[in-house]
Chains A and B, each alone.
Chain A
Amino acid sequence: MIDLQLLALLLTPLLGGLLLAAFGSRSWAAELNSLMSFCTFVAAVVLTMRVIDSGPQVAFNEQFFIDQFNVFLVALTAFVAFTTSLFSRPYMRIEQHHGKLTTPMLHLYYSMYQMFTLAMLVALTSNNMGIIWVAMEAATLTTVLLVSLYRTPASIEAAWKYFILCGVGIALALFGTILLYFAAERVLGEGGTALLWTHLNEVKGSLEPTVLKLAFVFLLVGYGTKIGLVPLHSWLPDAHAEGPTPVSAVLSGLLLNVALCAVMRSKVLVDGSLGTHFAGNLMMGFGLLSVVVAALFLSRQKDIKRMFAYSSIEHMGLITFAFGMGGPVATFAAMLHMTVHSLTKSAIFFAVGHAVQKAGTQQMENIRGMLQISPTVGWGLMLGTLAILGMPPFGVFASEFLIITTAMHDYPWTTPILLISLGIAFAAIFGKVQPIVFGETTARRLPHQPALVPVFVHLLLVLALGLYMPPYLADWYRQAAALLGG
């Protein structure tokens, strides 16, 4: 039964990718893209209900494994992928109307969008550490041509950088996976089962600590490149700024989470083998560095998408830090932060996308007075910014509050660093977004009606999560935190 539900989840985007590869240049391709994403979302919801009801389970000869932790990311991924496809429908048409995109480019975009969703879902649900690697690499391959979609010199440079840096990073992760297999083979014997996470998890206590230590360093550095941890982040702002906005939204909101999920899977094994806080300390270090460096870089940004890309680095750093601290509260907060960050950041990118189209530039000094020309874009951007900066009553406030109070209790010395960084980030982003929203307008009218419903749906969800957490959701997160050894 679970086999069937998983099959539906994975086959829908595959089918979508194939259909759009065939019909991607038709006029209804955007609608088909949204429809397939909607079907994927429905499949994800069905699967989620099932896992919440009956707990973790394996499928397809143990090749896939679904528990509360990854199913929450599956649901989030499918949801944001669906809303982004709704946003991209008018957005990409406007881009085409402005002459920045041609029909063959859109054709590529639609089919790759579905394949990218597929790669992320496989990376999330696979039980095989090797297949997780393959799917992560596939996620890079499907997005790299989307980053260079506009064919401008800057976008090609960004895509090249993304490809080379993530390629090197992911190669290091492969070395980590090989080391993991090397350690596992001695316990589980040769053959197919030695890379299956569920099997590894059962014998994690007897895996060789020295090997796993080295393996985790490689895995963290490798997948950390994808997460955008400092100092491996330099591809991220370029790729987000130069790619089309829907791609920025899914990269920022989803791909970074998926890479972090792979790191967490490895961390559980390493913690079990070492019995020390080695993996957690490493993650805390990288996380803290990312938060500080990203906050300092924020105020120097002039390009609006670039600025929000740095904000993603900051938040991913915060989540990595929280996962690194470990313990039930911090892990719970990290997962909550993953959820609210994905929703808020993609909402911001939707609003930013239309604001940029109206102003005709990504340079923040030339985007002015969004509220005058379009109150919905203006308010969407303003509320999204307030939400991402951690203003109550939005959900980001709740998760950041939990992370900081835990840090205060367990690692007091990190608290001032975190608070100062968040303060700097607040000053930098708010100071720049405020004149964009208010002030005298220079914007133009758009040929298609922009889709702003997703922006407000996301923000509403984030607001709801900040005000009231339904008991079953809290319970779900708590179970997932327990699975991660929190």
Chain B
Amino acid sequence: MQMTYSLQFIYLLASMLLLIAFAMLSQRRILSLINLFALQGLVLSLSTFVVAFSTNQQHLYYSAGLTLLLKVLVLPWLLHRLIRKLNVRWDVETLINIPTTMLVGIALVIFAFNLAAPISQLSESITRGLIGIALASVLLSLLMMLTRRKAVPQVVGFLAMENGLFFAATSATHGMPLVVELGIALDVLVATFIFGIFFFQIRETFDSLDISNMEKLKDDNT
């Protein structure tokens, strides 16, 4: 099948999305992590825009705009503000064993592609190979949340996971109904605010944003 230019472009953006997910997995600095997150949002918004253009669907333009607004501007701005206020802007996390994490990440990508293979064959839409990439970036973000010990990177992982899901929605299905997308966007925004409140509560109580301080709740403690 001859690939159209727009399709090639979407595939390029999809691979960039996956690459950014790997970059986030190995990034130690909180500031760069947030910038990577903003970049991922930009790629996402661009790919939504291209899908909208090539399939000529009106509501996808809205979701592309919404993504640009929320994930490239509002959320990174909120996160930047938070880390400035919390004074963790220049924090560097000591990550153990980046090579192993990367290897696990590669295994996850293979797993995701395998899982999505039967579904990709069914899709008639122009972007059918992309659901595997979307699932892979969701799983990579999940891995990132598991390996981080600080609150802010965990939250960035959470938001990146939502990016992967959004990519699945636009690539595999040409976008969910607009009312659902608006609802999801609202939930993500509120969640980010609540995360912000939590950062302050955690720091006030534990004197740091290190999650490993809070491992008191076990079944056989006291």
Contact = CB atoms under 8 A, between A and B. Distances in A.
A300 B217 contact: no
Looking at chain B's contact residues, is the secondary structure mostly helix, strand, loop, or mixed?
helix
Contacts of B186: 134
A156 B205 contact: yes
Interface stretch (A173-181, A283-291, A320-328, A338-346): A173-181
B205 A153 contact: yes
B222 A302 contact: yes
Prevailing SS type, chain A contact patch: helix
B154 interface: yes
Interface in A190-242: 190-192, 194-195, 208, 210-211, 214, 237-238, 241-242
Contacts of A163: 194-195, 198
B145 A164 contact: yes
B176 interface: yes
Interface in A85-137: 128, 130-131, 133-134, 137
B191 A141 contact: yes
Interface string B143-186: 00100000100100010011001001100111011011001101
A134 B206 CA distance: 32
B32 interface: no
Given A160-B214, A237-B219, A141 B177 contact: no
A390 interface: no
B187 A161 contact: no
Contacts of B180: 128, 130-131, 133-134, 195
Contacts of B57: 190
Interface stretch (A26-34, A144-152, A421-429): A144-152
A171 B161 contact: yes
B219 A192 contact: no
B197 interface: yes
Contacts of A242: 217
Contacts of B214: 153, 156-157, 160
B197 A145 contact: yes
A160 B219 contact: no
Contacts of A214: 115, 119
Contact of B216 (A137, A157, A191): A157
A210 B145 contact: no
B198 A174 contact: no
Contacts of A363: 222
Interface in B53-102: 57
Interface residues of B, number: 49
Contacts of A59: none
Contact of A145 (B177, B179, B194, B216): B194
Contact of A130 (B161, B183, B215): B183
A208 to B, nearest CB: 6
A95 B76 CA distance: 39
Given A141-B187, A175-B138, A192-B177, A164 B154 contact: yes
A151 B168 contact: no
Contact of B179 (A156, A182, A190, A192): A192
Interface string A293-323: 0000100111100100000000000000000
B39 interface: no
Contact of B169 (A178, A208, A210, A241): A178
B122 interface: yes
Nearest to B206: A153
A138 interface: yes
A167 B176 contact: no
A285 B158 CA distance: 29
A168 B158 contact: yes
B117 to A, nearest CB: 10
Contacts of A297: 219
Contacts of A208: 122
B201 A182 contact: no
A306 B218 CA distance: 11
Interface of A: 128, 130-131, 133-134, 137-138, 141, 144-145, 148, 151-154, 156-161, 163-164, 167-168, 171, 174-175, 177-179, 181-182, 185-186, 190-192, 194-195, 208, 210-211, 214, 237-238, 241-242, 297, 300-303, 306, 363
Interface of B: 57, 115, 118-119, 122-124, 131, 135, 138, 142, 145, 151, 154, 158, 161-162, 165, 168-169, 172-174, 176-177, 179-180, 183-184, 186-187, 190-191, 194-195, 197-198, 201-202, 205-206, 211, 214-217, 219-220, 222
